[in-house]
Amino acid sequence: MLDQSEGYTTADGRKIGPVVMEMKNITLRFGGVEAIKDISFDIREGEIRAIIGPNGAGKSSMLNVISGFYVPQEGQVFYQGQPRPPMKPYQVARQGIARTFQNIALFEGMTVLDNVMTGRLTHMKTGLFWQSMWKGRAETEETVNREVAEKIIDFLEIQAIRKTPVARLPYGLKKRVELARALAAEPSLLLLDEPMAGMNVEEKEDMSRFILDVNDEFGTTIALIEHDMGVVMDLSDRVVVMDYGKKIGDGTPDEVRGNQDVIDAYLGVAHD
């Protein structure tokens, strides 16, 4: 078992810090349906933590609990050592958590740059008055934020589509723009909901590289949900496996790969 207070060092020599988020005995119900049943796990600083499982396993619900969008009926979420009360989405954003969505939630009519700039909203302090004056503080602030946005555009190699309306982009690029917008918030915890869904092999490779680079370059803690086992195993430091709302495995990719319950869940066994 891993030491609870200290971090650990990964195979490729990255230092993983203490626990930043902890799920304790989470149960989430929608009416009579138990989407998540008594799940506990933690996310450590600087690691890439994956949640995997077959369709309907409750992965997205879990991510929504982490992001604070769903409030579990039972159990407690601890963020940076503190129990977390129910929060509004903007409060979550201010805590340094950013996310992307499975089915892409960008502003289709706006350009890539404008979309990325919306990710900077939490860092903008000037009010409507100054913004509309477009002088002084508001202007300085815009410059600073634009610089951050541009660095991210450069980082994700989307310079060529900077001024293109999002609606005109292919799916794979939209996913990348969504990642850019999430990164623009300079999050300490980044949640990715199926970042690789619907992509071809090349796009998946690109996206994997960006995820690793984000983690490497900005030290961002990443929690991601993914369908594609191969990608997850290559990418993540530790994996939680879910099936029918229950946790059936937790550990390094190698540990998880050898877990009989996990193999059964993916390959299927007769249910009695």
Given the complex with other proteins, which of 13 and 31 has the nearer CB atom? 13
Distances (CA, A) of 114 to 55, 89, 119, 121, 138: 34, 20, 9, 11, 16
User: Quick one: which of 39, 52, 43 has its CA closest to 17?
Assistant: 43
Given the complex with other proteins, which of 92 and 153 has the nearer CB atom? 153
64 vs 213: CA distance, rounded Å: 25
Given the complex with other proteins, which of 88 and 163 has the nearer CB atom? 163
In three-state secondary structure terms, 253 is helix
Given the complex with other proteins, which of 36 and 149 has the nearer CB atom? 149
Given the complex with other proteins, which of 218 and 244 has the nearer CB atom? 218
Q: Which residues contact 217 (CB under 8 A, 6 or more apart)?
A: 155
Minimum CB distance to other proteins, residue 170 (Å): 14
Q: What is the DSSP string of 15-28?
A: EE-SEEEEEEEEEE
User: Quick one: which of 152, 168, 162 has its CA closest to 109?
Assistant: 168
Minimum CB distance to other proteins, residue 202 (Å): 9
What single-letter amino acid sits at 108? E
33 vs 219: CA distance, rounded Å: 37
Helices (H) and strands (E) in the chain — how many of each? 10, 12
Minimum CB distance to other proteins, residue 118 (Å): 17
Can you give the binding site for other proteins, defined by CB under 8 A? 12-14, 113, 146-147, 150-151, 153-155, 157, 159-160, 162, 209, 213, 216-217
Minimum CB distance to other proteins, residue 229 (Å): 22
Minimum CB distance to other proteins, residue 213 (Å): 6
Minimum CB distance to other proteins, residue 222 (Å): 16
Given the complex with other proteins, which of 7 and 75 has the nearer CB atom? 7
